[in-house]
Amino acid sequence: MRVLLLIIFTFSLFAQEEEKTVSHYQEAMAFKSSWVLYKNAPDNYASYRAFLKSAEKLEDSELKAGAYAYAALGAYLQGKVEYGTRTYNSLNELGQNIGDSKWLNFCSVDQFGDECSVCEGSAKNSRACKKCNGTKTCRNAECRKGQIIKLEKIDGNFEEVSTDCPVCEATGFCQTCGGSGIYKIPCNICRSFGYLLNKMKVREQFKSGLMGMNALVDAHLVEGFEKDQLAKGKIKRGDRYYTAAEIEKMDTAARLKNERTSQVQRRREEQKREQELRAKMDKKFKSLEDDSVLAPEKAKKVIENDFSNVADPVKKRYINTYLKQADLMIKAKEAENKGLELEAIKWLKEAQKLRDHEAIKEKIKKLKLESIGL
C-alpha cells in the first residue's frame, strides 16, 4: 500500500512539473492570441493591458519593439498619452539594447498632434502673478527699488539709512514671477502636451504597419515551434522535424529507392545498347545481300568478324550462302584478271545458282561478249 501511494505521489509531482513547463510554441501562441484580440480592439483598455503584459514577457527583439510601438499607439487611441509616453520610453531603452530604433519613429506622439489653439503649443497658459498682481515689483510696501529707507538718529540727528529688501533680495522685482508680472500654469486643454491628439492619424498609422507586425508574430510562432522540436532532439529535414530513428528510416528508404532506380536505369541503358547493337548488326546483315556480289572481300571479312557465331538457323543459312557466293565471286574475279573469261563465266554461273543477282547476269553477259571478240 505504501509503495502504491509513493508511486501515485511521484507521478503527481511529475505531472505538476509537466504542467509548469510551457513550451516556446505555446508561449508564442499565447502572444499571438493577445495580439489578435488587441489589433481588433486597440482602443479597449482590457485588451491593451493584456497585450502589453504579453509584450513585456518577450525577449529583447524586433518583435518586442514592434509590440511596444503598437501598445503606445493603443494608449494614444484611448487618450492615455501618459501611458503611451511611458511605453515609448521603454521602447527607447529597448532600441538601444538591440541596436534598432526604427519603431521609435513609428509611434512618436508628436506626429499625431495638432497644435493646441489655447496655449499655442507652449503647453502652458499665462496668468497675472498673484503676488504682485501683475505689477512686476516687489510686494513689500516698504521696498523702494530693492531698498528699504528708514530714519535713524545718529549723533543726535535723524538720517536716512537704506538696507537691502529681504523680500526681493535688493532687486526691486517680484521674486515669484521673476519681474515678468505673469506666471505659467499647465494648459488644461491639452494636458500640458502642447498639442491635441488626432486619433484619425493614429488609426492610419496603426493600420499601415499591420502587415509587418503580423509577419513578425508569425515568425515568432515558427521560431517557438522550432525551439521545441530541437529541445526534443529532433532534426529539421526540409520544412519538417523528425527523430533520429525517423531520419534513419527515411534515409534507408531513399537509399533503397535510389538503388532500384539505378538498377532500372542500368537495365534501360543495357536494353538501349542491345537495341543499337542489334540495329547495327541488322544493317550489316542487310548489306551482305549486295556486298557478297559487289564487294566479296569486304563481305567475307564482315562474316568472319561479326557473324561467325550466329545461332539463328535461318540467318545462319543465309550467311553460308553469302560466304559461298563471295568465294565464287572472288574466283571469278581472279579468272577474269588472268584473261580466262570462260572460267570466270563458270564461277559466276555457280554463284548465280546460289542466289540470283542482277549484277551477276550483267557480268556474265559482258564476259560472253568479250569472249567472242565483241
What does the pLDDT look like over 198-244, one tens digit per residue? 889 999 999 999 999 999 999 999 999 888 888 888 888 887 888 87
CA distance 245 to 251: 10
Instruction: For residue 153, name the pLDDT band (cuts at 50, 70, 90).
Output: low
Distance CA 271, CA 222 (A): 50
pLDDT band for 156, please (50, 70, 90 cuts).
low
What pLDDT does residue 314 have? 87
203 vs 126, higher pLDDT: 203
Highest mean pLDDT, choosing among 21-25, 53-57, 369-373: 53-57
Name the amino acid, one letter, at 300.
Answer: K
pLDDT single digits (tens) 268-294? 999 999 898 888 888 888 888 888 888
Which own/partner pairs from 120-125 qualify as long-range (CB within 8 Å, at least 24 positions apart)?
121/194, 121/195, 122/184, 122/187, 122/194, 123/186, 123/187, 123/190, 123/192, 123/193, 123/194, 124/184, 124/185, 124/186, 124/187, 124/192, 125/184, 125/185, 125/186, 125/187
Predicted structure pTM score: 0.52
Q: Which comes out higher in pLDDT, residue 80 or 215?
A: 215
Give the Cα separation of 20 and 68 in Å (integer). Answer: 27
SS3 at position 55: helix
Report whether pLDDT(374) > 60.
Answer: no
Give the residue-averaged pLDDT of 135-162. Answer: 71
Grid cell 542489334 in the structure block, residue: 278
Mean pLDDT across the chain = 82
Cα gap 12→15, rounded to integer Å: 5
pLDDT of residue 240: 83
Highest mean predicted confidence (pLDDT) among 163-177, 284-298, 360-374: 284-298
Please say whether the dihedral angle defined by the alpha carbons of residues 312, 314, 320 and 322, taken in this order, is positive or negative.
Answer: negative
pLDDT for 4: 43
Higher pLDDT, 104 or 148: 104
Q: How many CA atoms lie within 13 A of 295 on its CB side?
A: 9
Structure-block grid coordinates of residue 92: 527607447
Question: 124 - beta bridge partners?
Answer: 186
pLDDT, position 189: 61
Average pLDDT over residues 304-311: 83
For 344-359, what is the HEC assignment?
HHHHHHHHHHHCCCHH
